[in-house]
């Protein structure tokens, strides 16, 4: 698994950056191995988002602690990010890199294509009290 990111793949002083995952494709389909010991954190939780119609927005919050790795497994998903007054937009697709988001970064995902699937690996268990909304002060 290749996890390298370039400076062009980073935003907010490295609080959000792309991770280039190695996908193996052949006539049988696509295999995406994720070796937990090679990730930048030990996942405590994972979840998927699927069956979202095009234009559906999810997220709309940030986390005061922890990290999340967003991996598009199918389709295309636009991700809006904000840290303080800085903003960035990233498009994830099933052929591209994953997005690592650290604490203090607000994010919202817009599902662009029908049948898009997002896999999220989180460093911390679910805790709604760690959320902050857009415009609220981040940690």
DSSP symbol at 126: -
Residue with tokens 């903003």: 87
Inside any domain, residue 137? no
Inside any domain, residue 88? yes
State the total domains in the chain: 1
Predicted TM-score of the model (pTM): 0.91
Inside any domain, residue 138? no
Report d(CA 65, CA 6) in Å as an integer: 24
* Distant-in-sequence, close-in-space partners of 110: CB < 8 Å, separation ≥ 6: 55, 56, 57, 77, 78, 79, 80
Residue 82 is part of which domain span?
Answer: 7-25+39-132
Q: What share of the chain is helix, strand, coil (3-state, %, to 5)?
A: 5, 50, 45
Per-residue pLDDT reduced to its tens digit, 78-106: 999 999 999 999 999 999 999 999 999 99
CATH of the domain at 77: 2.60.120.10
* Distant-in-sequence, close-in-space partners of 36: CB < 8 Å, separation ≥ 6: 42, 43
Inside any domain, residue 33? no
Per-residue pLDDT reduced to its tens digit, 7-20: 568 999 999 999 99
Inside any domain, residue 58? yes
What's the first-to-final CA gap in the chain, in angstroms? 31
Inside any domain, residue 2? no
């Amino acid at each position: 698994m290749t996890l390298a990111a370039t400076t062009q793949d980073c935003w907010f002083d490295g609080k959000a950056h792309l991770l280039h995952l190695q996908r193996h494709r052949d006539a049988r389909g696509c295999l995406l191995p994720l070796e937990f010991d090679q990730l930048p954190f030990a996942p405590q939780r994972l979840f998927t988002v699927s069956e979202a119609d095009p234009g559906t927005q999810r997220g709309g919050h940030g986390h005061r602690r922890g990290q999340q790795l967003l991996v598009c497994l199918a389709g295309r998903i636009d991700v809006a990010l904000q840290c303080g007054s800085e903003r960035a937009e990233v498009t994830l697709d099933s052929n591209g890199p994953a997005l690592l988001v650290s604490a203090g970064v607000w994010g919202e995902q817009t599902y662009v294509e029908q049948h898009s699937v997002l896999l999220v690996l989180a460093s911390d268990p679910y805790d709604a009290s760690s959320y902050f909304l857009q415009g609220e002060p981040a940690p």
